[in-house]
A and B are shown apart, each in its own frame.
Chain A
């Protein structure tokens, strides 16, 4: 289980990689997080988490195309692995279990 554990930001980045479905690279992940969550994240934070997720085997990566605005440097595209999918599923189930365990009046009060 400890191998499948994800921090809050790791979970967000991993979900975003899954959402982008093969088109996830540094900048596109930042854009997606900003547009969906309204959260500004730095390139450093995203790249650090991507390296960590890759080390844990939750994402895999391949080089893509280079463009002029990137100074001729290639993009590195990330895709979610089966371990990553399994981890997200476990995280979701755990959260749902916690949500379902909430006393109803309390849950209804603030949802």
Chain B
């Protein structure tokens, strides 16, 4: 047991649990989580125990366990409606989800890579919106404090909304154009439909703001602050651990493929020319990667061995990570700007622009 006592559960999961758990229950449940984690380390190893810990924490997110809403209500000094707060939390969580989704287990899907790249870009270009968000929030707060509608045109939310639209439009059009160029017409048409739907929904609301005489706090500027900041923080904190996780996941999955390739070599005296040569004798079908952002396995026969690889997209969808297996450790890719070892023999990964 002493050895396991030195192993710690994942800090991020523990932090998440401490954040959402009701303070009255936190001590005993955290103790149970830790006890379960140490038992799992002993019985199944650290990796399994960490996975199980995350799962246990997520399953604890239940109405009876989490901090009740009225705890947050005390912080609601701007008197925003509960539905506005819930929408605010949901959209920000969606943003984090979009950033990490290509690294999560699931069927390979090209669209999630683009969505993640776009969501990460909001953490950079979206920074322009922060000063506007601060000024707009201050104007809204002043209106709310004074409990009277704005008297001057300049402090009307309408003009802030127009200005936000003018700034956001190129931020949307530019990546959409890049996606159209890289992926084809379907990406451009999808982006255009999304834009039309957004404008169709937003324009009437913006027009309403022009004649808005209420003195309620308009939550929109909070989004201008939260979206770039959350995107930036999520990218900085999550990209590395989550891409480590997805890389490990696919490496583990590819063991079946490597075993089949080696069986082919043992039987036929040479390595297969393509992965398709393995079916149906050595494999029923070529497995598809189990992570959403990893689209396929690549195989290349070399002089005395072979390279097995897969790609995943990191930072803004612009850095391509190629994870490469060569049993003789003779990977010789060209054009990469950084390379790293993995804990598995024969596996290395490379970053390309």
Contact = CB atoms under 8 A, between A and B. Distances in A.
B32 A27 contact: yes
A56 interface: no
A76 interface: yes
Contact of A70 (B25, B34, B55, B59): B34
Interface of B: 1, 4-5, 25, 27-36, 38-39, 55-56, 59-62, 64-65
Interface in A17-42: 25-27, 30, 42
Contacts of A45: 59
Given A27-B39, A43-B59, 16 more contacts: A25-B32, A26-B28, A26-B29, A27-B35, A42-B56, A42-B59, A43-B32, A43-B56, A44-B60, A47-B65, A69-B4, A69-B5, A69-B38, A71-B34, A74-B31, A75-B32
A75 B33 CA distance: 11
Nearest to A51: B64
A25 B28 contact: yes
A94 interface: no
Interface residues on A, range: 20 to 34
A44 B28 contact: no
A52 B64 contact: yes
A68 B5 contact: yes
A67 B32 CA distance: 11
A73 B31 contact: yes
Contacts of A107: none
Contacts of B60: 43-44, 47
29 contacts: A25-B28, A26-B28, A26-B29, A27-B32, A42-B59, A43-B56, A44-B60, A44-B61, A47-B32, A47-B64, A48-B62, A48-B65, A51-B64, A63-B27, A66-B31, A68-B5, A69-B35, A69-B38, A69-B39, A70-B32, A70-B34, A70-B35, A71-B30, A71-B34, A73-B30, A73-B34, A75-B31, A75-B32, A76-B27
A17 to B, nearest CB: 14
